[in-house]
Amino acid sequence: MSLLKFTDLCFGYGANFAQPASFELNAGEVVALMGRNGSGKSTLLKTLCGKVSAMNGTVEIAGKNLKDWNAVELAKKIAYISISKAAPERMTVREFVSLGRMPYSGIFDGRSAEDNKIVGESIELLQLTEYADRMVSTLSDGERSRVYLAEAVAQQVNVLLLDEPNAFLDIPWSHQLFRTLRQLSAERNMGIIVSTHSLEYASQYCDRFMIVDNKNLNVGTLAEAQEKGWLEWTK
């Protein structure tokens, strides 16, 4: 089942956009997004969720054009996570994770017992229970990256876009993060695209590779990427 699809997509800014590309993200798979610094990985992720307008082509979420979704309903389908965003002031981990329930809470932004249950499960899944009452701003970059992911998990989306989520994680926590992504994709039929510079983690935990190189977007398995030389820049 295709959760996200783009056709003849050109993304970027001005004259620096990538060549037209097409792709389908399926339920239950984790796709590694790789490329040199400045190649356009973050821009692509932002284009896929509507934060940046496409230069050309179409993006579909659950079979519906991205432009035709209203903001609330789209927030139930797709989430974009960047650990570079500033930590919220005067907000605990539990309060921040509960923001993921906003698309479901109605005009008065009330939290039901079910909402609280989902928030608690998300905190537990990312092993944040001991930090639940801590201010997010007091956490390390690595701990905050887990908080941001927990918020997206609480949002119960079908498509998850992550921009270098393990940038500030040590090796054990990086492995744990990618294992969690595999668990989410398998148990919740989510489609996940994760930007990473680590060929080791991508090779071990991801089903396919999406590689931005020299304004081209190539997609395939690890074997295909190696055979066609798409990963030569990593050496």
What are the tens digits of pLDDT across the range 29-55?
999 999 988 888 999 999 999 999 998
pLDDT mean over 114-126: 94
Contact call for residues 29 and 191 (beta carbons, < 8 A): yes
**Using CA atoms, how far apart are residues 11 and 48, in angstroms rounded to an integer?**
9
The domain ranges of the chain are 1-77+157-235, 83-156
Confidence of residue 214 (pLDDT cuts 50, 70, 90): confident
What DSSP designation does 9 have?
E
Q: What is the mean pLDDT of the chain?
A: 91
168 class by beta-carbon count within 10 Å (0-12 exposed, 13-18 middle, 19+ buried)? middle
pLDDT of residue 15: 59
pLDDT of residue 223: 94
Backbone phi and psi for residue 152, each to the nearest 5 degrees, phi listed first: -65, -35
pLDDT of residue 37: 87
pLDDT of residue 120: 95
Over pLDDT 70: what percentage of the chain?
95
**Using CA atoms, how far apart are residues 200 and 161, in angstroms rounded to an integer?**
19
Which residues, 6+ apart, have CB-to-CB distance to 182 below 8 Å?
A: 30, 205
Residue 221 tokens, joined: 């398995």
pLDDT of residue 183: 94
Residue 102 tokens, joined: 């906003």
Residue 60 tokens, joined: 């579909």
Contact call for residues 7 and 25 (beta carbons, < 8 A): no
User: Beta partners for 217?
Assistant: 212
121 vs 169, residue with greater confidence: 121
74-93 tens-digit pLDDT: 999 999 999 877 778 889 99
pLDDT mean over 6-16: 82
pLDDT mean over 67-78: 95
pLDDT mean over 166-190: 92
**Using CA atoms, how far apart are residues 172 and 196, in angstroms rounded to an integer?**
16
Backbone phi and psi for residue 119, each to the nearest 5 degrees, phi listed first: -60, -45
How many angstroms separate the Cα of 5 from the Cα of each of 24, 60, 140, 159?
Answer: 4, 5, 35, 11
pLDDT of residue 92: 96
pLDDT of residue 222: 92
**Of 235, 207, 217, residue with least CA distance to 29:** 207
E strand spans, the chain = 2-10, 21-26, 30-35, 56-61, 64-65, 78-82, 159-163, 191-195, 208-213, 216-220
172-183 tens-digit pLDDT: 999 999 999 999
pLDDT of residue 168: 84
93-104 tens-digit pLDDT: 999 999 999 998
pLDDT of residue 133: 96
pLDDT at residue 136 greater than cutoff 70 = yes
**Using CA atoms, how far apart are residues 196 and 119, in angstroms rounded to an integer?**
27
CATH superfamily name and code, 1-77+157-235 = P-loop containing nucleotide triphosphate hydrolases (3.40.50.300)
